[in-house]
Structure 1
Amino acid sequence: RNIEHALQGVEDKQTQTLPDNPLCQARIARIMGFEDWSACESALASHRERVALHFANIIATEDEEGEGDAAVDDGWFELWLSEMDEPAAIEWLAEQGYENPEGSYRLLAALHNGRTVQTMQTQGRKRLNQFMPLLLSALTEVENASETLERVLLLVEAILRRTAYMVLLVENPNALTQLVGLCSESPWIAKLLADTPLLLDELLNAESLYSPPAKEALQDDLRQQMLRIPYEDLEEQMESLRHFKKAHTLRVAASEIKGTLPLMKVSDYLTWIAEVVLDHVVDVAFSNLVSRHGRPQRSDGTACDTDFAILGYGKLGGIELGYTSDLDLVFVHQSDPLLATDGDKPIDNAIFYTRLGQRIVHILSTQTPSGQLYEVDMRLRPSGNSGLLVSTLQSFEKYQQNDAWTWEHQALARARGVAGCRDTLAAFERVRHAILCAKRDKQALRKEVVDMREKMRVNLGTPVAKRAEEFHVKHDFGGIVDIEFLVQYLMLAWSGEHPELTQWSDNIRQLEELGRAGVLDVADTEKLREAYIVLRSTIHRRALQNLSSRVEGERFAEERDYIEEMWKKVMLG
């Protein structure tokens, strides 16, 4: 943000002022390649006096300016500045490899002649006139130049009033190359950058862009970013969390596109990002409430060290988060709900934890200028939407033992503690283990799981009339959910005899444990595992293309046949 504000100060046409903050000055000088601010300021002043029509550049040194001019054909400047007539421009675009030259020309003309560009101040217009030819030239390096242009123009339109971003791309050719390459591969990334141009800073360092940090490094990064923001400044906390999530999600997506992260690692990293964010959100929300009401008290008179945990279900619990996944959450605590907090304005512990849960949901799901952190789904809590937002762990255990439906126990197989108090998380794992290991009638259990699967297939799968044309990767017969239900049935049926099955919450490792325990043949678990990875990889890739989970009807015939065979063998006898 300091860079953005400072560069906007440089851009100020009316005053021509330069930023006077030494930290801003040093950062700008470093990014622009100067030894110190005085050298940067001298170059800026010199270039203000000798700006040319087509190659104005107030940032670059003379040598850099000359190199930049030589690298881009004059035709791109003539095209952008409307010095070519329409037929000549379309022919030029076609010769340069644009697959839809007519459409690309219309998009450029609409931008160039639009009101926003026509009313830009002189300095900003000069920067745009330098940036666009560089962009158009860079697009010739990708196969889908016209399609990529359409995607990148969303970003260009977003930064027309903040042309400092254009300066950063002009002065960092590698960043421009990364931008074009990523937008060529993924419209989802293009939209992410257009929605949050500040993420362009991530493109400056290709090494970090394609090497997302592990969970410990993520924790350190977030901790460092939040040191300057007091917990009481909830608005700034929320904005910074949203930027943190987007920046690291961009790194994961870029790494997947480049092939430096396999599918399993992609889901790991996306899940780690969510866990690190959730841990911080718990700390912020708890601190805010403690400052008002004091800490909840235990029956022995000691103060609770949160004694609160977030349980992750679904994709979060199964370590399978995707780029657009919501978070299935359940909140539990271990304090005595009949006791109260120890502050000047005490409230019952039960009320304290209910407000804590509400504040966590608010921080995660509220729409801010930076968007929503995560969409939250709380329907898997005991008694669903009619139940308490936050339960004691004791009541959670009692519900699971006496009142939960079979599908809720299936969901528990994919659940795990993801954030909060370590003691409470450990206590939940003991409860989960006990519930999953409970003795069950295998025949009755199998019938309930099969009936539930059929209901889901009818409601969410492809209609019978369209099954030859479409295949829903998740919900159709032979899809992902068949494998998940099969694994969940076996977990509930056999964990009592093989308690080691409960140690994992993700399908891949659960399948491996089922093979080791002899519940399934190892060869079958390996084939199911490979089919599962193939189908999940497809969903990940399609998400980056903004595509649904529906594919052509003939896709994945071999995998689907095998999954159907295993379903009939295990679930239908």
Structure 2
Amino acid sequence: MSDKRFLSSIRELPRPGDPQAADLGVASWREHAAQAEDPALAQFGRELADDATGHRLLRSLFGNSPFLGHTLIQEMAFCRHLVVRGLDSTFADLCRGINGQLTGGDGVGTDRSQLMTGLRRARRQAALLVGLADISGLWPVERVIRSLSDFADAAINAAACHLIQAAAANGSIVLPPCADATGSGIAVFGMGKLGGRELNYSSDIDLIVFYDSAILRGSDPDELQSRIVRVIRDLVRMLEERTRDGYVFRTDLRLRPDAGVTPVAMSMDAAELYYESMGQNWERAAMIKARTVAGDLGAGQAFLARLRPFLWRRHLDFAAIQDIHSIKRQIQAHRGGADVAVFGHNVKLGRGGIREIEFFAQTQQLIWGGRDPRLRVAATCDALAALAAAGRIKPTVADELTRAYRFLRKVEHRLQMVDDRQTHALPADEAGLARLAAFMGYADTESFQSELLAQLNTVSDRYAALFEEAAPLSGPGNLVFTGTENDPETVRTLESLGFRDGNAVAATVRAWHHGRYRAMRSERARQLLTEIKPALIAALARTADPAAAFHRFDAFLGRLPAGVQLFSLFHSHPELLDLVAEIMGDAPVLAEQLARHPILLDGVLAGDAMAALPDVSVLSDDLTRALTQAGDFQDVLDLARRWANDRKFQVGLQLLRGALDGEAAGARLADIADAVILGMQPRVEAEFARQHGDFRPGGMAVIAMGKLGGRELTVASDLDLIFVYAVGHDGEGDASGNEAVDEAVTIQSNGAKPLAPMTYFTRLSQRLTGSLEAQTGEGSLYQIDLRLRPSGNKGPLACTVESFEAYQEKDAWTWEHMALTRARVVTGSPPLRRRVEAIVRRLLTQKRDVEKLVVDVAEMRARIAREHRVKGPWFLKHTRGGLVDVEFLAQYLQLRHAAQIPEVLSANTVEALRRLAAHGAIPAAAGEELSAAARLLTRVQGLIRLTVGEGLDETVLPAGLRARLARAGGVDDLDQLKDRLGRAMAHVRRHFDDLIETPAARYRSVSNPEEAK
């Protein structure tokens, strides 16, 4: 070769990690050189292989990097040019060629496919040139990463300018007069390593694109944006589409504002508004490296100048600094490897890796850069030097981290040079590590491994000491929610904690910080949430269903009008965060109420939520006072819901926390329902009377049945009601004349639009039912079940007191009289109440055919069992020996004995059983066993309904709910609870068989022997 200056300047060459591949590669080089059509090129190839340094160079390339070896043969002519011209001149020629020749002067006349081919070949040549400069020791790491970045700038700018000017030429966009792409107002910004001019060998490039709508105008801003978006999508395709010539750069646009919902190009005004109002500290950290790399460089620089107040803040409050500390701690939790290691360790993301050095610098730049312009630099090593010069870190720390950065970047480049693959993971086996050690220039694996561990440990130690005085974020595993994509380790941590779809949870948490919810639109709210997130995730993970709990918390967050006050409460009162997590995970009904009224938490803090509720008369007066604030009937509906749901929340919370058991909670919930009916009925009647008047004397009574009648409600209970009315009398006397004739002919309400009694009270009962069921902005009050009325769904919604009495006497089935044992009159005039109560008492105390009674009860229980298949032992209502059996026993025994002992009557199951035993209707031991079973089942069932709804799967129960259920059952653990429930239900089954099943079978066999067989 005539010019050996390049070869003579080579300082070092790594030995081939694969000597056999090196020999084969050199032979292939000679073969291709011999076949070259250009004699000068053939001579160059032969001479390079014959030269001692050239031969070593070829062996080093072929023996360490299949990619570089293949590229060397492809680009033999370029290699000759490089050897003759030298590295610096050749690289300058390469970039000039991209900026000038490839763009064809104005960029419009250049064929796009030709430009794509040219860029891909230029990228291949740049990879070869930089690889040679790196492994030969002629360029230091800083020059390598800067040259890779400069080439990227040239390639991106060539493609962007071509596309912008092509769009202007075809009329898609309109440029200012005499302007080209450089004055278009469209600015392409390099972010991350590209922005800091620190690109790695096989790096993706991070880009964001903004346009100045004052420069680039259009009649329709939305249409203008969509056209620019098409340009940018074409830019991405030009750069990353793989053709037979390869690709230029893999391109990532996700660092733009709120990338999940925003277009790939947005106006600078919109971007500035986002950063000022929603920008997060991790975005500030990312913008430290932002640099205009293509398009209108002037517009880009002007935009970055506008962002300086966002990026470089002179004054940071405590919360902002804590948020920056949180970024550091979250990145510290982000591990490509949990500990410093060698085999398989990630030199970028793992402990002691490159990212820790970058964030070591950036977090402190965020804190101090607003007051010290010297710290506003993009490159990592420059930032470390500036921090040391400003006295923010010790010079020895800066030197150590700079040396580690250079070393780790060199390792990263060698890993990527092998196959032109974006990898950061060290080899996982001895052979692979030996090859890497050779490529790094080490004589043996042990010396490389020793140096690698030393550098990783240095970085890990320095990073761990950063902000070490800051309070730690308590949280399990890795929980990192910064950036634009989900951290795989965080996803794994979330799923190990019980969140079924960790990716969805991580994406949702990241979205919170983009201000899509009103509660998250202030910077302070986002900072506070960053601090409490690990504790929040841990608390939700302890609930019965972490995924459902998270979903409810997200819905709760979405409904909050503001977040600062609540998040401050969580921060100051961690126990409140635990409570909210309990509610979200363990009590769906309470979660819905809390989401609608977060102000309920104020009562928790004040202690009101745990105070005992007063009796029903006080509750009714309280609701009446609240309803006086109503301006119209819609206000009545909303105020009643707010009042009732707040108090149901109070009872549910006390049940959840063990201040009430299921039995006491049922009574309190019934009191609330009574108060609501007492409060709503007169207002519905008054509203109805404005059109239709009323009946005087007369009126309507509401009879509570079922769980409400027995004051045994759960948080999920419907209200079983019957409406009874009297017309022409006050309820205690008979109607004058023939009722049917009077109603049809003479009796009507006294309003402007009079109605006959049946129509009047049917519609009134519909109105009252609707007022309780209707869904308003404050939710619903109750679901109403009217099927226990005379004739069920076939009968009128409301019936006269006389028809109610006649039906119960003549037409009612045994099961309807069983249901009547739980009847309790809630509203009505005193005479009407007394009349209904007297009718019910007389019906229940009438003498009965015991044989028919017991057979009917047994058959009814068998039918219910057929209709309700039990799915597991925790379905406590319908399982054998469960709540239905206890209730049937109480109702049957009252019907059997009330004629002789009317004192046994009670609408409440436990009280009825107590009275039956007290008056000798059943043995005292049986009464105690049945009462105890009823109380136990009620307590556990009430908690199950509050927490998991219908039934329970113990295989997925978290420890907290297991303990709560055990406490409800008065035992220490779930196994003991199952044992206690099993024994209690066995008692119930035995008594049910003795008192109902066995006698019924005996009576059936006597009355119908064939059927009994």
Q: Is the 8 A contact 1:292 1:345 kept in 2?
A: yes
Instruction: Report Cα offsets for 1:140-185 as digits up to 9, x if no partner.
Output: 5687179558614533444347451442341465666334225336
Q: Counterpart of 2:532 in structure 1: which amino acid?
A: L
TM-score (norm: length of structure 2): 0.45
1:323 aligns with 2:715: yes
Match of 1:278 among 674, 677, 681: 677
Shift of 1:419: 2.6
1:490 aligns with 2:893: yes
1:426 aligns with 2:834: yes
1:383 aligns with 2:383: no
Change (3 A) 1:108 1:486: closer
Partner of 1:457: 865
Shift of 1:272: 0.8
Give the Cα–Cα distance (whole angstroms) in 1 for the partners of residues 805 and 773 of structure 2: 28
Q: Counterpart of 1:110 in structure 2: which amino acid?
A: A
Partner of 2:695: 296
- Structure with the greater relative contact order (CA < 8 A, sep ≥ 6): 1 or 2? 1
1:566 aligns with 2:991: yes
Give the Cα–Cα distance (whole angstroms) in 2 for the partners of residues 378 and 127 of structure 1: 48
Question: What is the total number of aligned residue pairs between the two structures?
Answer: 499
1:170 aligns with 2:568: yes
Match of 1:128 among 510, 526, 531: 526
Partner of 1:20: none
Q: Is the 8 A contact 1:117 1:125 kept in 2?
A: no
Shift of 1:484: 1.3
- Stretches of structure 1 that go unaligned for 5 or more consecutive residues are 1-12, 15-46, 57-69, 299-303
1:409 aligns with 2:817: yes
Change (3 A) 1:328 1:505: same
User: Which moved further from structure 2: 534-543 or 518-527?
Assistant: 534-543
Q: Is the 8 A contact 1:80 1:129 kept in 2?
A: no
Partner of 2:613: 213
Q: Is the 8 A contact 1:357 1:389 kept in 2?
A: yes
Shift of 1:528: 0.5
Q: Counterpart of 2:799 in structure 1: which amino acid?
A: S
Q: Counterpart of 2:912 in structure 1: which amino acid?
A: Q
Instruction: Report Cα offsets for 1:103-130 as digits up to 9, x if no partner.
Output: 6863553114449936568843541332
Give the Cα–Cα distance (whole angstroms) in 1 for the partners of residues 481 and 902 of structure 2: 68
Q: Is the 8 A contact 1:482 1:563 kept in 2?
A: yes
Instruction: Report Cα offsets for 1:319-355 as digits up to 9, x if no partner.
Output: 1110111111100012236222223333223322222
Match of 2:644 among 223, 245, 257: 245
Q: Percent identity between the aligned chains? A: 24
Q: Secondary structure at the match of 1:159?
A: helix
Change (3 A) 1:381 1:181: same
Give the Cα–Cα distance (whole angstroms) in 1 for the partners of residues 665 and 797 of structure 2: 31
Shift of 1:382: 0.5
TM-score (norm: length of structure 1): 0.77
Partner of 2:877: 474
Partner of 2:759: 351
Give the Cα–Cα distance (whole angstroms) in 2 for the partners of residues 166 and 348 of structure 1: 58
Change (3 A) 1:271 1:175: farther
Partner of 1:31: none
Q: Secondary structure at the match of 2:522?
A: helix
Partner of 2:630: 229
Shift of 1:223: 2.2
Q: Is the 8 A contact 1:309 1:424 kept in 2?
A: yes
Give the Cα–Cα distance (whole angstroms) in 2 for the partners of residues 560 and 234 of structure 1: 48
Change (3 A) 1:294 1:519: same
Shift of 1:314: 0.8
Shift of 1:385: 0.9
Q: Secondary structure at the match of 2:834?
A: helix
Q: Counterpart of 1:225 in structure 2: which amino acid?
A: A
Instruction: Report Cα offsets for 1:481-517 as digits up to 9, x if no partner.
Output: 1121122111111111011122x21111111111121
Match of 1:73 among 472, 481, 485: 472
Change (3 A) 1:119 1:401: closer
Shift of 1:283: 1.2
Change (3 A) 1:270 1:49: farther
Give the Cα–Cα distance (whole angstroms) in 2 for the partners of residues 253 and 396 of structure 1: 36
Shift of 1:204: 1.7
Q: Which has the larger radius of gyration?
A: 2
Partner of 1:39: none
Give the Cα–Cα distance (whole angstroms) in 1 for the partners of residues 928 and 887 of structure 2: 14
Give the Cα–Cα distance (whole angstroms) in 1 for the partners of residues 650 and 714 of structure 2: 14
1:544 aligns with 2:946: yes
Q: Secondary structure at the match of 1:164?
A: coil
Q: Counterpart of 1:221 in structure 2: which amino acid?
A: D
Change (3 A) 1:140 1:409: same
Match of 1:109 among 506, 514, 539: 506
Q: Is the 8 A contact 1:148 1:180 kept in 2?
A: no
Partner of 1:267: 666
Give the Cα–Cα distance (whole angstroms) in 1 for the partners of residues 754 and 485 of structure 2: 74
Give the alignment of 1:113-192 within 5 angstroms: 113-114=510-511, 117=514, 119=516, 123-137=521-535, 140=538, 144=542, 148=546, 151-160=549-558, 162-171=560-569, 173=571, 177-184=575-582, 187=585, 189-190=587-588, 192=590
Partner of 1:510: 912
Change (3 A) 1:74 1:412: closer
Q: Is the 8 A contact 2:570 2:576 kept in 1?
A: no
User: Which moved further from structure 2: 133-142 or 381-390?
Assistant: 133-142
- Stretches of structure 2 that go unaligned for 5 or more consecutive residues are 1-272, 275-312, 324-468, 729-738, 955-974, 1000-1013
Q: Secondary structure at the match of 1:345?
A: coil
Give the alignment of 1:7-22 within 5 angstroms: none
Change (3 A) 1:75 1:319: closer
Q: Is the 8 A contact 1:318 1:506 kept in 2?
A: yes
